[in-house]
Structure 1
Amino acid sequence: MKLNIVKEDPWLEDYKEEIYQRWIRFQLAKEELVNVEGSLSEFASGHQYFGINFDTRRHGWVYREWAPEADALFLTGDFNGWDRNSHPLERNQWGVWELFLPFEPYKERIIHKSLVKVHVKGGGSSRDRIPAYIRRVVQDEETKDFSGQLWFPDIPFVWTDAHFSPAYTQEGPLIYECHVGMGQEKEGVGTYREFADIIIPKVKNLGYNAIQLMAVMEHPYYGSFGYHVSNFFCPSSRFGTPEDLKYLVNTAHELGLAVIMDVVHSHAVQNVSEGLNEFDGSDHQYFHAGPRGYHEVWDSKLFDYGKWEVKRFLLSSLKYWLQEFHFDGFRFDGVTSMLYFHHGLITFDHFEKYFHKDVDWDAIIYLQLANALIKEVKSSAISIAEEVSGMPGVCRQPDEGGIGFDYRMAMGIPDFYIRMLKEKKDEDWDILEFWKELSDRRYREKTIAYAESHDQALVGDKSIAFWLMDKEMYFHMQVDDKNIVIDRGMALHKLFRLFTSSLGGEGYLNFMGNEFGHPEWIDFPREGNNWSYQYARRQWSLAEDPKLRYQFLLQWDKAMVQLIKKNRVLLAPFAEQLHADPKNKVLIFRRGDLIFAFSFHPESSIPDYKFRAPAMGQYQLVLNSDDREFGGFGRIDSSKTYFTNQNQELSIYMTNRTALVFKRID
């Protein structure tokens, strides 16, 4: 036990014992599981025991369900004419119910695409439910009811990705966050196959090395963005079949892109008919009882991570997605909510708030087990925490006093940019505040930086492009149309992205469409917009139209990503500030082999601007946001080379609202 995070941060000395207990509790929990099941991976094989599986030894189907407080369970479906009484399950001493269906009598009835439910009596009620471990759920177009669907096609999917290796291990994660359903330009729900054939090549062309898929797990309400999950082993059927999702992942791997899944284990939809809520008739089977089991802000149910079968259920879900669909890792949603009894709905202004009475140890243990399992099942897999509180050790290993994630999301960066745009004039921006915000992260805890989140593109908020240019985007984005609002917006949009990717972390993320400044918000079909798909899509044609300026923002993104990859910027040590000039709003720093020079000044362009270089020699300008190919004004000769003077200084033309990147060539 090393407890490195305490050794490296003296402020944590007062909490050394509690951090030590993180490791102790994890070791005890893991040991308990391993002693019973043989390994963590074996424990996380609940989907091979529960649900409906074919038992080759007994030569028939076995359906098992954990429902400890239920009075009776009956399997019902197409196979028995939806009779709710003919096929009862038997209960064992552990609250697990079981039904065996021999192959011969049922081979013509238990078939591919059969619909099933389980009728549960308990808690004074009697309801049709969807089996908890079901692999596929479909919705009836007329009644809108959801049912479980048996899924065992005759021809298995053929994977061709045996030799795939994630490039993020060599380049750092360059993640393109996306939503399959709204990934097409058409007004309708996109499919897994459309996304694979049309969108993934676009991502590959831009240079990203991973995609992060939202809304994969089945969710009854489309407009929830996939965050109110009902069925934790089901790829959403609204986008296609399980084989279609496998086709998407396989296609991405063939093109060299890793596929990260946005996994939601922080809460679950409270719907009784579609989800897990009150499954066995109680309010505390999978979730905490009473108010503790309900998230008032999210209107959803909260898991009881201390329960054996809840841990098995959630961990099995992770293993299932890794093995069955070849995902390359997970971005865990809502980690802050999991860590604290108050769900992070406070201000974190003192170390005391990361420890003691407010911390949910069961949740921390679960996350430690989850991260250990991910590496055990797939060593190259990545785990990312959406964690805003800044809890120490989230991205350190348990034996160092941590929770085990590889990365955390730098959630403060998008909020910072929006705050600057909303609350301050450009001339009042403090470039030292910019530096502090993007460089303020925990020592040796890697972060994924992003300039804007998908939340900022939703109705009720604005993307950075919309904050910068607003309605002018509808009228003045033509190449030959001169407009000062658009000029400012495009310049700053480029600066924010490069500033974020070069300084903000050890990984970079972009939400689809933001790379070219998508002009419209996201609004899913709902009663308030007459169930329209007009805004639940992405207008790729805007960036492909040579008459519009969106193309320049797209080309900038491509050049920026290629630069970051080629020079291994994300793998380089923390940036070194070389020069800060608050008056002229110029900030220059080195990261890896590159020098990044930013001017956020709204007006001042300074010839013969001098700063001390990190070494004597000749430097080449390798990226210039003011180039005309990126929609700039072409004020700087990008072919020029720069030599240090006798004082080891470089002299450059530092134009306003410009980002320049230099590299030493001798």
Structure 2
Amino acid sequence: MNKLMLIQKDPWLEPYAEAIEGRHNDVIKKEQDLTQNGRLSLSDFASGYLYFGLQRMADGGWVFREWAPNATAIYLVGDFNGWEKREDYRLRRLEGAAGNWEIVLPADALHHGDLYKLRMEWEGGAGERIPAWCRRVVQDETTKIFSAQVWDPAEKYKFRVNDFRPDTSPLLIYECHIGMATEEEKTGTYEEFRLKVLPRVARDGYNAIQIMAIQEHPYYGSFGYHVSSFFAASSRFGTPEELKRLIDDAHALGLAVIMDIVHSHAVKNEAEGLGRFDGSYRQYFHTGERREHRAWDSLCFDYGRNEVLHFLLSNCKFWLDEYRFDGFRFDGVTSMLYYSHGLGEAFSNYGDYYNGHQDGDAIVYLTLANRLIHEVNPHAVTIAEEVSGMPGLAARFEDGGYDFDYRMAMNIPDFWIKTLKEKKDEDWHPSAIWWETTNRRADEKTISYAESHDQALVGDKTIIFWLIDADMYWHMQTNDRNLTVERGLALHKMIRLVTATTMNGGYLNFMGNEFGHPEWIDFPREGNGWSYKYARRQWGLVDNPDLKYHFLGDFDHAMLALIHSVPAFQALPLQKVWDNDGDQVLAYMRGDFVFAFNFSPTHSFTDYGLLTPEGSYRVVLNTDDPLYGGNGLTDDSIEHFTQPDPLYAPDGKGWLKLYLPARTAMVLRRVTPKKRKPKR
């Protein structure tokens, strides 16, 4: 039997070949089980949303179905029957269907906009429930009670863009949240985001948006991570048609739309969520000690149940099919992979990934989810938010991996925050910066980022806040010279440049961070007087030419334009040219580009020599350019020629001598190779 390619490429995995091959075979067996040994496709299996929930029939009538094996009786209650339990709205248990219930109703029994719930009864109890498969949930503004809503508009949204493919060369992601994307102190809407933010993102040079908090969640302050209704797009931002129009417009602008999907856990709520849906504790979730994720105060799915796999896999296909999302960023993958949820684990050697503490059922689910997603849409993008470093996560299934397209490079933002918190400027070591930004498995693509939404949450600080702090409130006018602000602007640009240009798959930025948004994120809650002051984005700051924020925004735009100018930039081999911790200088190459950084806060260098391929070079981007708030200490119109060195001439290399001012970085492009004298 041939070894899986994952093991062939990494001999250090050889001692764990049995475990790796066992997991691989478990996926194959489960897929055969779910697809009846191949008689169905995985996509056929994951079509539960076309059967369960409220459906229109061909004759105009209605059929509603629900899976509730522990229920003894189920009634539809709502606006249409005065919210009373009535026999003519009682579901019948389907014979031989393992807990499926159904009711068929005439066309005039329900109407678009009607509110409804399920009156669920079980041995020893009863309660009202929102259907598990419902596609629309709304909250009453007065009572704050959530209900399902019949959604059957006369005019269904028709997509205009039908052949969109994400641009992944590279993937440049703008992470965003619809509700806090407005400048006003309120909850933003799909329409406001479509009209005001999408064009901005496209102009800035991003080719994808990653939207948080789409799945319905009862508590706004959870940032969308305590999901209650998995098939319902959050109604606090608008209607399903408005979300579809947003996605359609994004595609027209060339933007892929990635959904931040939460399948790692669910809200504990019973009235709004699945916590005790049919009266039992184990319908969707584990029982006993494994039921609750104590760190997140939520419930953990039982991925070992085929019905749960059916629900979650159908959820993946639903968002691709119904809304035309272009893929998913899977939240909390580390929590899924380990019985410990990764809490307190060191992950210091390969043995920590194969010691029996891993949830094999979750691994099977994640792999099947990726296989399904790529079956439904071969161009879809899947990203794993995973911090432990599990080998093979973003490797192909055929090679023994879990089939994600990318994994988040979560070490990089942790490194930057730790550096800003703990190190003086003179202790920033280029060798450490190079290691952290390039340390990854050769056979797995990653999404690099300096900071995401995590670093902006209340209780933490964004990079710009660590750099400038309160001086941002007083010294950001363009005519105000302030040493703290100037240091902050310089390092902010350098951090982003080295993070983005060392990527091997994609780059991500959370909205507002590109221009140094001055505020943290704090959603309305009792502790802040239910204020929206910190749950918004102040676009007026970057749009104001008299403030320095636009320097950072302009640099971000120029950096992305540079990356876009090179076909398949992320695939160009990275080659370190030089690093010197004493000088605090780092230089590396990608193709014809030289990236030179001087992190020293005090030392500028004249004629600093870098050994590069012979030729002439021109500066194409400089963090010290006055256009980006710099001091303009170099003349970037000068063409730089390498100087020959007999020692390296046989290799076609020479010395590129540069002036490197303190706290600056420049990007040079080789314009022409240096002509070499013919041999006699």
TM range (shorter): over 0.9
Q: Distance in 1 between matches of 2:227 and 2:567?
A: 37
User: How far apart are residue 273 of structure 1 and its match?
Assistant: 0.6
Which letter does structure 2 place at the counterpart of 1:227?
Y
Aligned to 1:47: 49
Is 2:25 the counterpart of 1:24? yes
Contact 1:69/1:95, CA 8 A, preserved across alignment? no
Is 2:357 the counterpart of 1:358? yes
Aligned to 1:249: 247
User: How far apart are residue 570 of structure 1 and its match?
Assistant: 4.1
Q: Distance in 2 between matches of 1:234 and 1:607?
A: 60
Once the two structures are superposed, residues 254-294 of structure 1 have per-residue CA deviations (whole angstroms, 9 ceiling, x without a partner) of 11101000000000000111000111111110000122011
User: How far apart are residue 77 of structure 1 and its match?
Assistant: 1.2
User: How far apart are residue 443 of structure 1 and its match?
Assistant: 1.6
Aligned to 1:663: 669
User: How far apart are residue 74 of structure 1 and its match?
Assistant: 1.3
Aligned to 2:571: 572
Aligned to 2:150: 150
Once the two structures are superposed, residues 189-218 of structure 1 have per-residue CA deviations (whole angstroms, 9 ceiling, x without a partner) of 100010000000000010000000000010
Aligned to 1:372: 371
Alignment length, in residue pairs? 659
Contact 2:157/2:244, CA 8 A, preserved across alignment? yes
Is 2:200 the counterpart of 1:202? yes
Alignment of 1:126-165 (within 5 A): 126-165=126-165
Contact 2:70/2:99, CA 8 A, preserved across alignment? no
Contact 2:66/2:102, CA 8 A, preserved across alignment? no
Aligned to 1:118: 118
User: How far apart are residue 564 of structure 1 and its match?
Assistant: 1.1
Q: Distance in 2 between matches of 1:304 and 1:324?
A: 26
Contact 2:68/2:101, CA 8 A, preserved across alignment? no
Structure 1 window deviating more from structure 2 (232-241 vs 569-578): it is 569-578
Contact 2:597/2:664, CA 8 A, preserved across alignment? yes
User: How far apart are residue 38 of structure 1 and its match?
Assistant: 1.1
Aligned to 1:623: 621
- SS at 1:356 equivalent: coil
User: How far apart are residue 622 of structure 1 and its match?
Assistant: 0.7
Q: Distance in 1 between matches of 2:144 and 2:125?
A: 22
User: How far apart are residue 631 of structure 1 and its match?
Assistant: 0.4
Which letter does structure 1 place at the counterpart of 2:432?
E
Is 2:622 the counterpart of 1:633? no
Question: Structure 2: 5+ residue runs without aligned partners?
Answer: 646-653, 673-680
Contact 2:79/2:114, CA 8 A, preserved across alignment? yes
Alignment of 1:124-523 (within 5 A): 124-168=124-168, 171-345=169-343, 346-523=345-522
Contact 2:137/2:147, CA 8 A, preserved across alignment? yes
Once the two structures are superposed, residues 95-154 of structure 1 have per-residue CA deviations (whole angstroms, 9 ceiling, x without a partner) of 333333342xxx233111111111111252210000000000000111110000111111
- SS at 1:595 equivalent: strand
Structure 1 window deviating more from structure 2 (63-72 vs 230-239): it is 63-72
Once the two structures are superposed, residues 327-381 of structure 1 have per-residue CA deviations (whole angstroms, 9 ceiling, x without a partner) of 0000000000000100011111121111131111100110111001111111110
**TM-score, normalised via structure 2 length:** 0.95
- SS at 2:230 equivalent: strand
Aligned to 2:73: 72
Aligned to 1:88: 90
User: How far apart are residue 569 of structure 1 and its match?
Assistant: 5.9
User: How far apart are residue 172 of structure 1 and its match?
Assistant: 1.2
Which letter does structure 1 place at the counterpart of 2:223?
F
Contact 1:283/1:290, CA 8 A, preserved across alignment? no
User: How far apart are residue 55 of structure 1 and its match?
Assistant: 2.8
Which letter does structure 2 place at the counterpart of 1:140?
D
Contact 1:218/1:236, CA 8 A, preserved across alignment? yes
Which letter does structure 1 place at the counterpart of 2:582?
K
Structure 1 window deviating more from structure 2 (561-570 vs 301-310): it is 561-570
Contact 2:504/2:570, CA 8 A, preserved across alignment? no
**TM-score, normalised via structure 1 length:** 0.97
Aligned to 2:603: 604
Contact 1:525/1:533, CA 8 A, preserved across alignment? yes
Specify whether residues 563 and 22 from structure 1 end up closer, same or farther in structure 2 by C-alpha distance, changes over 3 A only.
same
Q: Distance in 2 between matches of 1:454 and 1:222?
A: 15
Q: Distance in 1 between matches of 2:394 and 2:588?
A: 26
User: How far apart are residue 61 of structure 1 and its match?
Assistant: 1.7
- SS at 1:27 equivalent: helix
Q: Distance in 2 between matches of 1:337 and 1:570?
A: 33
Aligned to 1:12: 13
Matched residues, percent identical? 53
- SS at 2:127 equivalent: strand
Is 2:651 the counterpart of 1:651? no
Which letter does structure 1 place at the counterpart of 2:620?
V
Which letter does structure 1 place at the counterpart of 2:11?
P
Q: Distance in 1 between matches of 2:388 and 2:85?
A: 48
Which letter does structure 2 place at the counterpart of 1:656?
A
User: How far apart are residue 2 of structure 1 and its match?
Assistant: 5.2
Structure 1 window deviating more from structure 2 (158-167 vs 601-610): it is 158-167
Q: Distance in 2 between matches of 1:164 and 1:441?
A: 30
Over 4 Å off, 4+ runs: none
Aligned to 1:546: 545
Q: Distance in 1 between matches of 2:51 and 2:100?
A: 12
Aligned to 2:104: 101
Contact 1:26/1:398, CA 8 A, preserved across alignment? no
- SS at 1:35 equivalent: coil
Q: Distance in 2 between matches of 1:641 and 1:461?
A: 44
- SS at 2:643 equivalent: coil
Contact 1:117/1:129, CA 8 A, preserved across alignment? yes
Which letter does structure 1 place at the counterpart of 2:133?
Y
User: How far apart are residue 43 of structure 1 and its match?
Assistant: 0.7
Contact 2:51/2:65, CA 8 A, preserved across alignment? yes
Aligned to 2:678: none
Q: Distance in 1 between matches of 2:175 and 2:214?
A: 12
Structure 1 window deviating more from structure 2 (499-508 vs 621-630): it is 499-508
Question: Structure 1: 5+ residue runs without aligned partners?
Answer: none
Q: Distance in 2 between matches of 1:45 and 1:84?
A: 30
Q: Distance in 2 between matches of 1:270 and 1:130?
A: 14
